[in-house]
Structure 1
Amino acid sequence: MTTTDLPTSAPYRELVDKNGRVYRVGESDIDIMGRKRKWMVILPWVGMMGISSAEYAFASAEDTLHQAHNWSSTSIYWMLTTWVFFQAAVAFPAGKLRESGKLPARWAMMLGAAGTFIGYLSLAYAPHVMLAVIGFGMFSGMGAGMVYATCVNMVGKWYPERKGGKTGFVNGGFAYGSVPFVFLFHGYMDGSNYQWVLVSAGLFLAGVVAYAGFFFKDPPKNWWPAEVDPLNPPADPRAARSLQKNPPAVKQMTPKEAWKTGRVAVMWVCLAFTSGVNIFGISFQVDIGESAGFAAGIVATAMSLKAIVNGTGRGVIGWLSDRYGRKQCLLFVCIVLGASQFGIIWSAEAKNLPLFLIFSAISGFGGGAIFPMFAAMTADYFGENHNASNYGMVYSSKLVSGLGAGMGSVAVTAWGLNGAFTLAGSLSFAAFFIALFLKAPGRDYKGRLVKPNPQPISREAE
C-alpha cells in the first residue's frame, strides 16, 4: 500500500441543515487521502488487534508471572488495574491534543506501539513488581489508550452516516486479536521460556500497531461523503435506515457543551458499571472455571471463546444498532451481560462444562458489545468534530471500572467467587435502568433546536 500526496484540494461545498449543522460535501475519500475510506476501517481494526492481548490475555499469563517473578496474585491483578486506569486516563488529553493538531493520528499510533513494547519488556525483565507496574501498567496502558482512542474515533469520522457497524467491527479487534496469545500464555509459556515469549510478542505487536498507524489520516472537519445527501434521505437503504434510527447530532458540540447536556454523566456511569463487569470477568473467568474442576486447557478454551465472541459481538451489535437504534441495543446488552453472570455461577456450581462455555461466550458478547455502543452514541449525540475529546470523557469511566480486577480480588476474598459474580450481575442490571434516561440532546427539547437556515452556504475550496 502506498500513500498518494495530492497537489491540490478538491472543490467542496458547505451545507447547513435545519438545525444549523454544517456538512462539508464534494470531496471524495480518494481526493483527501489517495485511497478508499474502507482502509480507515481495516487499518484501525489491525491496530486494535495489536493492543488487545495486553488486557484480554493478561489473566492467562498470571500463573507464569507468579512463578517466574514470585509476584503475588494480588499484585498482578493490581498491575492490570493500573493498565486499565492509564488506558482510560490518556483518552481525554490525547483527544484534545489530536483535535488541536498537536498530535497527528500517525504519531499517536507510534507512541502506542512504543508503549506496547515497553509493557511486554517490563513483564519479562522487571526485577521488582513496581517496575512492572510502571512499565506495563503505566506505559503500556497509556500507549493502548492512545491507540484505542485514535482507532475508534478515526472510523467514526470516515463513516458519519453509517458508523455503528464499522465502529463495532474496529472495536472487535480489541478482543479477538488476543485469542492466539491466550493459548500462548496459558498453554505454552512457562518459567523456562517466558522472557523470550514476552519479548517476541511485544516486538510483533508493536510492529503491527506502528505499521497500521503509519497510513492513518483524518478527514477535514465537518466532512460528509459526497455520495450521501445530508439534507435528504439517501438512496442507499443501509445509510437511510441508519440515519433514521440514529440521526446525526444537531450540532458539533465541544466537550464543555456536551457535558452541559447531562448525557455525558449518564453515559459515564453506565459505562463504568458495564465495563467494570467486563474487566472483572476477564480477570476471574479462569479462577471460577478452575474452582469448578475444569481442566486448564478447557478454561483456556473458555477464555478464548469469551474473547472471540467479545470481539465478533462488537461488530454484530454495531450492525444491529444501525438497523434498530443505538439505545435499544444498549439496553439489550446490559440485560444480557447481567444475566450471563448468574449463568456462570449456576454452570460452575453444577460443574456443567457445556453450559459454562455457553455462558462464558454470552458474557463475552455482553462485555464487548457495550463499547461500540457508547463510541457510536457519543458521535450521534455530540457530533464527530470533537468526538476524540467527547468520547475521552465518556471512556474515562474506565478509571473507575478498571478496579474490576483489583477490587474484584477484594470482593472474591470477602464473599467468594459466587458473591463477586452476583455483584457483577447486579451492576449490569443497574446500568440498564441508568441507560433508560439516555436521549439525544436537542431532539427532545424544542427550545434547544437552532432555527433553520433557508440559504445553505456554498463555496469553493481555496
Structure 2
Amino acid sequence: MQLIQDFYGRRYRIGETDRLLLGRPRVWVLVAAWAVMLAAGAGQYGYGALLPGLVAERGWTWQQGCWVLAVWTVCQSATVFVATRLPPAVTLAVGGVLCAAGFVALAAAREFPVVLASHAVLGGAGAGLVYGTCQSTVARWYPERPSLVAVVTGAFAYGSIPFLLTGPTPAAAVVLVLALGAALILRTPPDDWWPRHLDPRQWALDKTLNRDLRHNRPAIRQYSVAEALRCPVAWLLYLAVAGAAAVALFDIAYLAAFHGLLAAGLFAATSGLTRVGAAWAGVRFGRRTVLCGALATAGVAQLLVLVAPTVGACLAGAAAGACYALLPGIVQGHFGERLALPSFFYGAKAVGGLLGVLLAAYVGTAGFGVTALLGLVAATLISVLRQPGRPILASW
C-alpha cells in the first residue's frame, strides 16, 4: 500500500486490489447498488403516477395527496447526506426496512395522517439512505469511472415502472429483500482508494488517457463542505439544483393526474435511461454546457407538455435525468472530490421539490409557466458558474 499525491493535491491510496478488500470483484458492488435502487425510487416516481387513483380511492383532497409526495421528497433528499457518513451495511438495512414499512402503510392505510407519517416520513427517509449509500459507495469504488454512478441513479427512476403494475405491497417485499442482500455486499474501500492498474498521477494530467480533461477542468483544490459554503458560486449552484428539482417534481405530481399513466411512465423511463448518455455527453462536450442545455430543455418542455403531453413528458424526463447525472461531476469540478459534497448539493432537492409539488397542488396548469421560468433561470445560473480560486480569464 502506498499513498501518493497528484498535481491538484488529490491523494491516492494504491496497491490494494478490489478482490483483496472485498473478497470479490468491485462489479459486485455496482450490480448490488443498481438492483436495490430499482425498488427504492418507487416511492417518488411510482407514487406520483398512482397519485390520482389514490386520491379518488381514499377520499383525500388533491392537496393532501400532493403533500404526501412533498414530504417524501423532503425526507428523501435530507437523508442522502447522512448516508455518506455511516457504514453501508447499516444504512441499507435501515433504509430497506423503512422503505418497506412505508409501502406497506401506503397499501393498507386509508387515513391521510397515517400515510403521511409512514410512507412520506419513514419511507422517504429510507429511500434517502438507500440512494445516498448506493451513489457514494459506487463513486468510491470507481473513482476513475464516475459515469457509472449515473447507471445506479438511473435505476432509481425507471425501476418504478413495474410499481405501476404491481402496486405498493409487492414493492415492499422487493425493496426489503434487495436492500438486505445489498447490505451483505456493499463495503466502502479505504479513503482515497485507487485501482492499481492505472497510474493516478498520469490519469490526472493526460488527456489521451483521461478524456474528461479535454472539456472539464478539475477543481483547483479540495474543499470541505464548510469551505465550499463560503464561496458564492456554491449558492448559485444550490439554487440551480433547487430550480431543477422544482421542475422535475412538478412534472411527477402533475403528469399522471392530467395526462395519464403513459405520460408519467414515459417521464420516469426517460429520466432513468438517459442518465448514462448525459454522463457520456458531459465528458465529450463539457458538463456545464450539457447541463445548461438540459435545464433549458426542461424549461421549454414544460410548455410543450400543454400541447403535446407525450413528447413533452419524454423531453422533461430526459432533462431531469441529465441534471442528476451531471450534478456530481459539476460539484467535483468546482469543489473537489470530497464525497459529502455532491450529497450536500443534492439536498437542494428538498427545497425545490417542495416548491414544485406545491405548485402542482395549489396552482395547477398555471404552474407550467412558473416551472418553465425556473428551468431557464437554473440554466442561466449554471452558465455563470466559475471555479472558485481560479482567475476568470483562465476558467472554462
TM beyond 0.5 = yes
For the 8 Å contact 2:49–2:265, the answer to whether it is kept is no
SS in 1 for 2:4: strand
Check 1:318–1:446 CA distance in 2 against 1; reply closer, same or farther (3 A cut): same
Q: What residue number does 1:395 align with?
A: 346
| CA displacement at 1:310 relative to structure 2 | 0.8
Cross-structure match for 1:241: 211
AA of the residue aligned to 1:126? A
Return the alpha-carbon distance in structure 2 between the equivalents of residues 127 and 204 of structure 1: 22
Task: Report which stretch shifted further, 424-433 or 366-375.
Answer: 366-375
Where do residues 95-106 of structure 1 align in structure 2 (5 Å cutoff)? Answer: 95=84, 98=85, 103-106=86-89
CA distance in 1, matches of 2:66, 2:120: 10
Which of 335, 339, 349 lines up with 2:300 in the alignment?
339
Greater Cα shift, 213-222 or 35-44: 35-44
Equivalent residues of 2:289, 2:383 under 8 A apart: no
Q: 1:235 Cα shift?
A: 11
- Compute the displacement of 1:20 (Å): 2.7
Equivalent residue number for residue 435 of structure 1: 382
CA contact (8 A) 2:83 2:130 kept: no
1:124 aligns with 2:107: yes
- Checking the alignment, whether the CA contact within 8 Å between 2:98 and 2:123 is kept in structure 1 is yes
Residue 26 (1) aligns with residue 25 (2): no
Alignment of 1:415-434 (within 5 A): 417=365, 419-434=366-381
For 1:266-281, list aligned pairs within 5 A: 266-281=236-251
Deviations 1:31-83 (A, max 9, x none): 22122222332222112111111100112322432344322221111010000
How do residues 149-188 of structure 1 correspond to structure 2 at under 5 angstroms?
A: 149-163=132-146, 165-185=147-167
Offset at residue 397 of structure 1 (A): 0.9
User: Closer, same or farther in 2 for the Cα pair 1:239/1:146, shift >3 Å?
Assistant: farther
Deviations 1:415-436 (A, max 9, x none): xx1x211211111000011001
Once the two structures are TM-superposed, the CA of residue 446 in structure 1 deviates from its matched residue by: 11
Q: Does 1:212 align with 2:163?
A: no
Shift of the 239–270 alpha-carbon distance from structure 1 to 2, 3 Å rule, reads farther
**Cα shift readout 1:372-416 (whole Å, capped 9, x = no counterpart):** 2112322343333x31x322321111221122112321111xxxx
Q: Aligned with 1:53: secondary structure?
A: helix
The residue matched to 1:90 in structure 2 has which SS?
helix
Amino acid at match of 2:59: N
Q: For the residues of structure 2 that align with 1:443 and 1:227, how far apart are their CA atoms? A: 32
Runs of 4+ in structure 1 deviating by more than 6 angstroms, as ranges, are 234-238
> Structure 2 residue aligned with 1:139, among 122, 135, 139?
122
SS in 2 for 1:246: coil
Name the SS for the 1:15 alignment partner: strand
Name the residue aligned to 1:292: none
Aligned to 1:222: 192
Q: 1:381 aligns with which of 324, 334, 353?
A: 334
TM-score for the superposition, normalised by structure 1: 0.80
Shift of 1:158: 1.8
Task: Check 1:212–1:430 CA distance in 2 against 1; reply closer, same or farther (3 A cut).
Answer: same
Q: Which residue identity does 1:219 align to in structure 2?
A: P
Kindly tell me the number of residue pairs found equivalent between the two proteins. Answer: 393
**Partner AA of 1:158 in structure 2:** W
Larger relative contact order (CA 8 Å, sep ≥ 6) = 1
Q: Pick one of 75, 89, 95 that aligns with 1:112.
A: 95
1:52 paired residue number: 41
The match for 1:255 is 225
Contact 1:326 1:377 in 2 (8 A): yes
2:234 matched residue in structure 1: 264
Q: Deviations over 1:126-184 (max 9, x none)?
A: 35211110101100011111111111112222222221x21211110111001112244
Secondary structure of the corresponding residue to residue 196 of structure 2: coil
Note if contact 1:33-1:217 (Cα within 8 Å) is conserved in structure 2: yes
| 2:296 aligned with 1:328 | no
Q: Is the helix fraction higher in 1 or 2?
A: 2
Distance 1:233 1:61, change over 3 A: closer
Post-superposition Cα deviations, 1:229-281, rounded to whole Å, max 9, x if no partner, equal 22224899885102443344444332112222333322211010011100100
Contact 1:50–1:205 (CA under 8 A) maintained in structure 2? yes
| Aligned partner of residue 402 in structure 1, secondary structure | helix
Q: Aligned with 2:210: secondary structure?
A: helix
Return the alpha-carbon distance in structure 1 between the equivalents of residues 169 and 166 of structure 2: 13
Q: Please give the alpha-carbon distance, in whole angstroms, between the structure 2 residues aligned to 1:330 and 1:319.
A: 12
CA, structure 1 residues 38+439, in 2 after alignment: closer, same or farther (shift >3 Å)? farther
Are 2:362 and 1:410 aligned?
yes
| Residues 237, 304 of structure 1: alpha-carbon distance in 2 compared, 3 angstrom cutoff | farther
Q: 1:392 to 1:160 in 2, by over 3 A?
A: same
Matches of 1:280 and 1:200, distance apart in 2 = 27
Give me the whole-angstrom Cα distance separating, in 2, the residues matched to 1:424 and 1:393.
23
User: Aligned partners of 1:39, 1:248: CA distance in 2, in Å?
Assistant: 29
Task: Output the CA distance in 2 between the equivalents of 1:184 and 1:237.
Answer: 48
Letter matched to residue 407 of structure 1: L
Contact 1:182–1:303 at 8 Å: present in 2 too?
no
Q: Verify the 8 A CA contact 1:169 1:318 in the aligned structure 2.
A: no
Residue in 2 that maps onto 1:363: 316
C-alpha deviations, 1:66-115, integer Å up to 9, x for none? 344322221111010000011112223333xx2xxxx2011111111011
Identity %: 27
What is the letter of the counterpart of residue 34 of structure 1? G
Query: Unmatched 5+ residue regions in structure 1?
Result: 1-11, 186-197, 290-298, 348-355, 448-462
Question: Which of 38, 47, 67 matches 1:78?
Answer: 67
Cα distance in 2 between the residues matched to 1:234 and 1:438:
22
Tell me, what secondary structure is at the counterpart of 2:274? helix
- Tell me the TM-score normalised to structure 2 length: 0.92
